[in-house]
Amino acid sequence: MAAQSIAAPGARLEVRKTYKLFVGGKFPRSESGRTYEVADAKGRFLANAALGSRKDAREAVVAARAAQAGWAGATAYNRGQVLYRVAELLEGRREQFVAEVAAGEGLSTRKAEAAVSAAVDRWVWYAGWTDKVAQVAGSANPVAGPYFNISAPEPTGVVVVIAPQTSSLLGLVSVIAPPLVTGNTVVVVSSEARPLPAITLSEVLATSDVPGGVVNVLTGRTAELGPPLASHLDVNAIDVGGALGADGLAWGDLEAAAAENVKRVLRPPVGDREPDWTEAPHPRRILAFTETKTVWHPKGV
């Protein structure tokens, strides 16, 4: 029998990755079967990503709605534990995130490492708010009568997040984590040109304790996925800030579409540029996706 020849290292066939969507805790292909090429900052091929469709967006909302009651029903302490575990897994895949952030954003390794460290730290910061936000935002209200009047923040429901177009991991974490703190579920439209950190984050979530459907990640054209999600009647809130810089999409159009069922809308800051995601986070981003529930209860004699 002739010995099998072994090709020289430089003669190997390149194995190109083709990533899928993340919906309901699973990794389905786009129902359209479409993909698109993802390139680095210098235009070199990195991978193929699924080109999500309107139907994929609807399926993601269905998955998010199915998971919302269970996630909101978990204790705040348990949600904090689950989210902290995600930070541990992010740390475990640090090298991959650094490589993807450096390639996609055109950063040096040192700057990419700093961005990844900040993203992990931010996830931990938000995880720590799960059992504290009610103490900050809740209150026992003075009442002229024999009643207790207590107000507490509750989740809005299903939140759509248009991820930042440039800050592929730090910005992404900064918009995904806040709605999760109080029990919302999320449908994320990732950065169109830099989706790889979002895809890797979905792989992290799939191996974590986060229930399927709590976070759903769509890749594709922001201008194609944003409008149907903004007008979807089973979506309760939307963060439109990531539309800044997206080709063919204005955040104002998304805000107008969201008015159809009076969605809660988190608008971008004044100006036409993304925020500086390296600035310290603030709990108001958590409260942007909460409703205040007030309970009246008679006092005992």
Question: Looking at residue 211, which CATH number applies to its domain?
Answer: 3.40.605.10
CA distance 51 to 215: 18
Tell me if 11 is assigned to some domain.
no
pLDDT exceeds cutoff 60 at 2: no
Q: What is the pLDDT of residue 269?
A: 82
Note whether residue 289 is domain-resident: yes
Query: Does some domain include residue 132?
Result: yes
**In one letter, which amino acid is 239?**
D
Q: How far apart are CA 54 and CA 112, in angstroms?
A: 33
Please report whether residue 128 resides in a domain. yes
Place of tokens 């009047």: 149
In this structure, is residue 4 part of a structural domain?
no
Is residue 246 domain-resident? yes
Cβ pair 256, 145 in contact under 8 A: no
What is the pTM assigned to this prediction?
0.92
Would residue 10 count as lying in a domain?
A: no
Distances (CA, A) of 194 to 36, 141, 146, 255, 271: 12, 47, 58, 24, 22
Q: How confident is the prediction for the chain on average, in pLDDT?
A: 93
Query: Which residues on neighbouring strands pair with residue 216, listed in sequence order?
Result: 187
pLDDT in tens, 216-249: 999 999 999 999 999 999 999 999 999 988 888 9
Residue 5 within a domain: no
How far apart are the C-alpha atoms of 119 and 291, rounded to whole Å? Answer: 27
**Region 62-85: what's the mean pLDDT?**
98
DSSP reduced 3-state for 258 = helix
Give me the number of domains the chain comprises.
1
- Structural domain range at position 139: 18-298
Q: Judge whether 87 and 124 are in contact, CB under 8 Å.
A: yes
